[in-house]
Structure 1
Amino acid sequence: MAEDEFADLGSDRTLLLVDDDAPFVNRLARAMEKRGFLPETAESVAEGRARAEARPPAFAVVDLRLGDGNGLDVVEILRERRPDCRVVVLTGYGAIATAVAAVKIGAVDYLSKPADADDVMNALLSRDDMLPPPPENPMSADRVRWEHIQRVYELCDRNISETARRLSMHRRTLQRILAKRSPK
């Protein structure tokens, strides 16, 4: 990595990676180290919180769903301990509602898995005044519809009857949609 990419960000290149997928987090740590970061890994909310409290990093990549809880808890600690920390939330369960929640509590970006090290680095180093490039593979119309249904479902506290009423949809139809995997 060129030195000028970190020029505006200071000399602190510490990076906390929090993900319960051990092979993935170790692979990402090696890739980010090659790009000039100083990574430290955690595989749970508890471990991530402890590392964030002990040594708040300049950068962090936090998985949203971890075995022992929600990665947003780690993001909150990072924002408290180090307000200038640039946090990217990474998840395999992409939903608009969780992306909004992540950004509201201070994440600079939200990436869906699979995201490679270049995607992560670009998100961590992006400037606030620059728009990110358009996605290479934007969501399909079916995926956008599914995301909207998931968002309303979450806002209704996972109440199927209330969600169906708000979406003007039959409850059984909604149950079938929710039981399926997300479309590509």
Structure 2
Amino acid sequence: MAEAQKPDLGPDPSLLILDDDESFLRRLAKAMEKRGFAVDIAGSVADGKARVTTNPPAYAVIDLRLEDGNGLDVVEQLREARPDARIVVLTGYGAIATAVAAVKAGATDYLSKPADAGDVTNALLAMTEDMPPPPENPMSADRVRWEHIQRVYELCDRNVSETARRLNMHRRTLQRILAKRSPR
């Protein structure tokens, strides 16, 4: 029964998943194997570049921010090695600027974490002219707001006063938001 649900991956089902979050990497790899992909995993930019050089995959899921650099370097190298590759960039810091940079570097699509295997598969297999279907359970507006505040906070080196100034909000209001857990 699970065989009928496998998508048509074409003659080359090779998939590189590059992420430094070990548990996420393993879960996604297992889920993508069940969908028929021939999965290869990497945990660093250096490892990803080496795998692209030796055997460029037909599909790739690449995390944007890794401990040893930027995943866009691997996207560019893969695009040069294999122009027909379908590449999805994943990141925990969803922002329009990074999405534009990912597409300019050669990514086919861009997804914010947490993305499940269904979202990733849809993005990898969507035709270029078609928009992929919307996610089954997108982030709530409260979660998107919280993610944006966290991103600006990190970019300001965790300086509350500077973050509040850039977000045009009162410092105490920001402190209350930062003290709370992330919304679902």
TM-score per shorter chain, which class? Answer: 0.7 to 0.9
Match of 1:88 in 2: 88
Offset of residue 72 of structure 1: 0.4
CA distance in 2, matches of 1:130, 1:56: 25
Match of 1:120 in 2: 120
Give the structure 1 partner of residue 111 of structure 2: 111
1:55 correspondence with 2:55: yes
- Within 5 A, what are the aligned runs for 1:14-163? 14-138=14-138
TM-score, length basis structure 2? 0.75
Q: Which runs of 5+ in 1 are unaligned?
A: 159-163
Percent same amino acid among aligned pairs? 68
Q: What is the CA-CA distance between 1:183 and the residue it aligns to? A: 7.3
Kept after mapping to 2: 8 A contact 1:18/1:42:
yes
Q: Which runs of 5+ in 2 are unaligned?
A: 157-163
Cα deviations across residues 80-131 of structure 1 (Å, max 9, x unaligned)?
Answer: 0000010000111111110111112211111111111111111111111222
- The aligned amino acid for 2:126 is S
Name the TM-score, length of structure 1 as normaliser: 0.75
Any idea what SS the aligned residue of 1:133 has?
coil
- Hey, what's the Cα distance between the residues in 2 that align with 1:52 and 1:43? 13
Distance verdict in 2 for CA 1:81–1:12, change over 3 Å:
same
Note the aligned Cα RMSD (angstroms): 3.2
Aligned length: 177
